[in-house]
Structure 1
């Protein structure tokens, strides 16, 4: 005879979750995050790319900002053979705007596999993407959070600090395509 406690589910299966933490320097005055489900988890189909941009007709989640591309980026779930883990890649869908992932610039339609934690920059936005492992199923969860401090100022312990991330992680190609400045007043002896 089977015990009742053996037949009842004691814990729900946990789906993989993408935690998307956003920051914009003028977020308190613009309201660009008002259409996002901030603070609550939403379920998203794993076979449908999660699109972020300003066009509500084609994007899963919308940013109310005219400087954001109609289709800014896509996050696509996938699995490797013989692996139960749900993984994600990111693709730049913006023809005009540049995007970087952990300092690596992605051009239009370029995609990149995401690590468990990635800093994505486009325009003045910073997006920290964290993958929380769970059951690889036909769907995953998405949770948005708006950060008061840019995620690039986060330390390795996860506690925000006022020390920015090193210059090597901030792509100069996003702000300038020209050469770096050189101090010509320095004298070099050979």
Structure 2
């Protein structure tokens, strides 16, 4: 019988296989980057559902507050019934007061300027009120940075923007060279379990 850690490792590596679609999209095989992102987010949502308390739901969608509506959010964990949902695509409009957590999913940790993530956080922060706040997380599917000090510095900067935590699934340098950030994955799953 496999241990809990062994099962988590299997799940982590299966999720990592989603990245193969990203590689195909870069080769011009007809997979649009939006679709790759959607598949990545949907795959992560499936993993979240395995560990999420039954009192919560998880979908991608938008947050609504009064007459404001957020940009599309990759993953929203919420309580209760959403304002409106499209079940066939797992998309929902969720009132701000029902949001428990938000997870923005990105493909590559090392390629984009960090200012993009500050802007992203600031846009979502508009939906946090003194009466109801929720944590915002970042989840990256992979990273090409080898130096752990640089990784730690970037994560520290992202947390400085306001993100509650930052998770990286795996390191990829060349097609044959990869390693998983098991500690990040276990921390991510534990975060989901404790919501």
| TM-score, scaled relative to structure 2 | 0.27
Greater share of helix: 2
